[in-house]
Amino acid sequence: MTSDPTSSTVDTAADPATLPSDPDNSPSAWLGSITHILRLAVALTVIALTVWLLGDVLTVIFAATLFAVVLHGLSRILVKHLHLRYGWALSTVTLGLIGAVVLLIWGSGPAIVSEASRLQDALHQQESSLRATLESNPTGQMILNYLPSSLGGKQGGGSSLASIGSRIAGSMTGIVGSAFGVLGTIVVILIAGLYFAMSPTLYANGALRLVPVPQRPRAKALMLRAGQSLWAWVAGQSLDMLVVGTLSGIGLWFIGVPLALALGVLAGLCNFIPYIGAIMGAVPALLLALSLGTRETIMVAALYSVIQFVEGNILAPVIQRHAVQMPPAITILSQTLFGAILGFPGLIFASPLTAALLAIFDGLTPPLADDERV
């Protein structure tokens, strides 16, 4: 008797025991996915706790690293163009920076201190005058009632702006600030950054030893990528600060605003913080312009608006073409995030830190294909 091949095929296909198992639905695959998720959650929790507990120390370490990147980048330029050994190039850069600071203090130190003191006194006087003007009319009183106390208003400490203000005011009195003071912290940053720049391979290789052996080549590539991104950001932002500070000082001097030099230097330094720094640098100039009259105030506001328009639409695209491209929304959100976590130092270093993180993220993730793009 012969068997029916059709019935045999059907029985075999219908038997679940003979079907190939799906590796994605197997218990081992599910267990591996759960283990990966738990490992990632634990790592993120540890990172968050470390940042929360050691935020001040991590800020100092990052500032020292950023200073080391500046020294290393300038030294590499001398190595490339003057064919010096790296040690001699670093010594030349360090002595050049020290000499520039000494000459600046020796030649312009008293004038800078005098300008800064006069600027502080003028701002205090203008603040008192503005407050008296607001208190003299109902609209101004309403504004003061809704302004937080950190901004000179009468609102209590429950406001979020007041909370941010208190964090900014107290950020320098944290763990590191209370132990060394602001000046001591700056000295620590400079010395640590110099040592980092003297032996960058020593510290980089030490960090790589903490990475599992199979991941070390990728970690090395990401570390180099982040360092190049930081150097590009610093170089571009330094040029941006120089242009903004120079244009601000010349424009304020032409308008006739007092302390134009100090206000120009302040605008350039504040521009280290993108977007928010532009507002911080313009407020003192507008306060001083109020004492001169409405015409001068309008001219100062127009001056800063034109400078920021030129910086944002002409200068920044040219710089970003050779440096780091950071979306404006990411920049502002990173300033909000790091400012809330680390206080005012986090606001200062949010942009370079985000530039390094974006470079690492770009190295970790593959680019999108043409059919995957939105």
CB-CB contact of 225 with 359 (8 Å): yes
Residue 190, both tokens: 């400079």
d(CA 250, CA 261): 8
Residues 6+ apart with CB under 8 A from 166: 150, 157
Question: Can you tell me the mean pLDDT for 163-176?
Answer: 40
Binned at pLDDT 50, 70 and 90, residue 116 comes out as low
* 65 has a pLDDT exceeding 80: yes
Kindly report whether the global pTM for this prediction surpasses the value 0.85: no
Q: Please count the other Cβ atoms lying within 10 Å of the Cβ belonging to residue 75.
A: 24
Would you state the pLDDT for residue 59? 87
Residue 40, both tokens: 């990632």
Q: Which helix (H) or strand (E) holds 67?
A: helix 55-82
Residue 155 has phi, psi (to 5 degrees) of -70, 145
Which CB contacts under 8 angstroms, 24+ apart, belong to 131-137? none
* 155 has a pLDDT exceeding 60: no
d(CA 249, CA 265): 7
Q: Shortest CA distance to 163 belongs to which of 177, 181, 151, 174?
A: 151
Between residues 111 and 15, which one has the greater pLDDT?
A: 111
Binned at pLDDT 50, 70 and 90, residue 179 comes out as very low
User: What is the tens place of the pLDDT at every residue in 240-295?
Assistant: 889 999 999 899 899 888 778 888 888 888 888 888 888 888 888 887 887 777 88
Scored b (16 or more CB within 10 A) or e, 236-258 reads: bbeebbebbbebbbebbeebebb
d(CA 337, CA 116): 31
Binned at pLDDT 50, 70 and 90, residue 197 comes out as very high
Would you state the pLDDT for residue 9? 46
User: What is the tens place of the pLDDT at every residue in 41-50?
Assistant: 887 787 777 7
CB-CB contact of 197 with 190 (8 Å): no
Query: What are the C-alpha distances in Å from 365 to residues 42, 361, 368?
Result: 21, 6, 9
Would you state the pLDDT for residue 1? 47
Strand partners, 148: 155
Between residues 68 and 323, which one has the greater pLDDT?
A: 68
* 88 has a pLDDT exceeding 90: yes
3-state secondary structure 98-116: HHHHHHHHHHHHHHHHHHH
* 360 has a pLDDT exceeding 70: yes
Phi-psi region of 147 (alpha: psi -120 to 50; beta: other; left: phi over 0): beta
Residue 98, both tokens: 């020290």
d(CA 86, CA 285): 43
Would you state the pLDDT for residue 170? 43
Round the CA-based radius of gyration of the chain to a whole number and report it.
Answer: 28
d(CA 344, CA 355): 18
* 302 has a pLDDT exceeding 50: yes
Residue 252, both tokens: 């304020």
SS3 155: strand
Mean pLDDT of the chain: 77
* 75 has a pLDDT exceeding 90: yes
Among all chains, which residue has been given the structure tokens 């328009």?
Answer: 309
| The residue type at 221 | A
Binned at pLDDT 50, 70 and 90, residue 151 comes out as low
Calculate what percentage of the chain has a pLDDT beyond 70: 75
